[in-house]
Amino acid sequence: MPEIAKPRILSGMRPTGRLHLGNYVGALQNWIQLQNPYESYHFVADWHMLTTDYASTGELQTDTREMVTDWLAAGLDPSKCTMFVQSRLPEHAELHLLFSMISSLGWLERVPTYKEQLENVKDRDLHTYGFLGYPVLQSADILMYKPYGVPVGEDQVPHVELTREISRRFNHLYQPVFPEPEALLTPSPRLPGTDGRKMSKSYGNAIFLSDPPEVASKKVAGMMTDPARKRRWDKGNPDVCPVFDFHKILSSTEVVERVNRECRTAEIGCVECKKLMAHSVNEFLDPIRERRRAFEQNPNQIWEILEAGTCRARVVAQTTMNEVRSAMNLVHK
């Protein structure tokens, strides 16, 4: 049977080290589901990390290795998708430079994440050339592979929009080289951190994919619940409880229905409800932990997988760059 070419997708993640359940639900799970129907490219966006963390690069290699270990442990399969490291492909830097010539300052200054972070991040100076160019670099990452779609969360949609603008302007000014990729929104149900805020490493409210069972259980036992339910006999409201958000994602329908019923009537107490929760979390994490152990025993394997992926990505990147240079008259005739 002739193989029908699958549509291509591409997405990146900044190397933040070990991933937590929020990263899994918000991105990784989607990547894993898409690796069969699509030709998938996934990369470590280490240059993007530098746009904000340029002053602390000490953990870059460890963070890259730990994050990719989690990708693999969670089920991203190197025989199905191409995994690579952005900084191993200078073609991305070249395309970023060329795109910077045609990216209007107005577009960049209007990107919501830019304004937000400038205002909110106080411990680093983000008034840099590199940080303003963050979405231009992202556009280069994306358009290099001419993908059909880009699986991302809601917050990244403006970056994909800008990518489409740059693509249109390039094609209009020179030659039609690039597609206009779609943002493929991650269907992400709410998974808060243990304190009810957004799960984030920096808030200290995260449950990591690599947490041992005792650690995960302890974090669940300390989770915030419905604040109005102070005593065992108080009736609760699961709709405002982060533990119930977890149940909805990780527990069986039976458990979800039971908690939904018995919390409201005070038949079930929070301690027992959390025990059920810890059980679901650990049942979910067990196979991930097991695969992680196998990779930890041979960390070289991670670099080999990334190297093989980088080689495959390079073939595509070089082809695109030849077209780009020729469209812009950057080659001797």
Element containing residue 281 per DSSP (H, E)? helix 270-296
The window from 110-118, 199-207, 262-270, 308-316 that contacts ligand SF4 (CB under 6 A) reads: 262-270
Q: Which residue, 113, 110, 31, 112, is CA-closest to 74?
A: 31
Closest residue to ligand TRP using C-beta atoms = 12
Please identify, using beta-carbon distances, which residue of 31 and 244 lies nearer to ligand SF4: 244
Structure-block tokens of residue 208: 């990591």
State which of residues 236, 288, 313, 317 lies at the interface with ligand SF4 (CB under 6 A): 236
The window from 98-106, 150-158, 213-221, 227-235 that contacts ligand TRP (CB under 6 A) reads: 150-158
Q: What distance in Å separates the CA atoms of residue 142 and residue 193, rounded to the nearest whole number?
A: 30
Q: What distance in Å separates the CA atoms of residue 22 and residue 206, rounded to the nearest whole number?
A: 8
Q: Which letter does DSSP use for residue 77 in this model?
A: -
Q: What distance in Å separates the CA atoms of residue 210 and residue 207, rounded to the nearest whole number?
A: 8
Instruction: Report, in this order, helix, strand and coil percent for the chain, each rounded to 5.
Output: 60, 10, 35
State which of residues 9, 44, 95, 152 lies at the interface with ligand TRP (CB under 6 A): 152
For residue 148, count CB atoms less than 10 angstroms from its CB and return exposed for 0-12, middle for 13-18, buried for 19 or more.
Answer: middle
Q: What distance in Å separates the CA atoms of residue 14 and residue 108, rounded to the nearest whole number?
A: 20
Q: What distance in Å separates the CA atoms of residue 74 and residue 148, rounded to the nearest whole number?
A: 25
- Pick out residues in 12-51 that bind ligand TRP (CB under 6 A): 12-14, 45, 48
Minimum separation from the CB atom of position 205 to ligand SF4 (A): 16
Minimum separation from the CB atom of position 234 to ligand SF4 (A): 9
State which of residues 142, 207, 259, 317 lies at the interface with ligand TRP (CB under 6 A): 142
Q: Determine the 3-state secondary structure of 198 from DSSP.
A: strand
Q: What distance in Å separates the CA atoms of residue 272 and residue 50, rounded to the nearest whole number?
A: 44
The residue type found at 101 is: M
- Pick out residues in 48-107 that bind ligand TRP (CB under 6 A): 48
State which of residues 30, 64, 82, 156 lies at the interface with ligand TRP (CB under 6 A): 156
Q: What distance in Å separates the CA atoms of residue 331 and residue 315, rounded to the nearest whole number?
A: 19
User: Rule CB under 6 A: is residue 11 a binding residue for ligand TRP?
Assistant: yes
Please identify, using beta-carbon distances, which residue of 40 and 280 lies nearer to ligand TRP: 40
Binding pattern for the stretch 215-254 against ligand TRP, x by CB under 6 A and - elsewhere? ----------------------------------------
Please identify, using beta-carbon distances, which residue of 278 and 327 lies nearer to ligand SF4: 278
Q: Which residues pair with 41 in a beta bridge?
A: 10, 82
Q: Which residue, 326, 239, 10, is CA-closest to 140?
A: 10
Minimum separation from the CB atom of position 259 to ligand SF4 (A): 5
- Choose from ligand TRP, ligand SF4, none: what does 141 bind? Cβ within 5-8 Å by kind: ligand TRP
User: Rule CB under 6 A: is residue 141 a binding residue for ligand TRP?
Assistant: yes
Q: Count CB neighbours of 126 within 10 A.
A: 18
* Size, binding site for ligand TRP by CB under 6 A: 13
User: Rule CB under 6 A: is residue 327 a binding residue for ligand SF4?
Assistant: no
The window from 17-25, 86-94, 268-276, 307-315 that contacts ligand SF4 (CB under 6 A) reads: 268-276
Residues that bind ligand TRP (CB under 6 A): 10-14, 45, 48, 138, 141-142, 150, 152, 156
Residues that bind ligand SF4 (CB under 6 A): 225-226, 229, 236, 238, 241, 243-244, 259, 263, 268, 270, 273-274
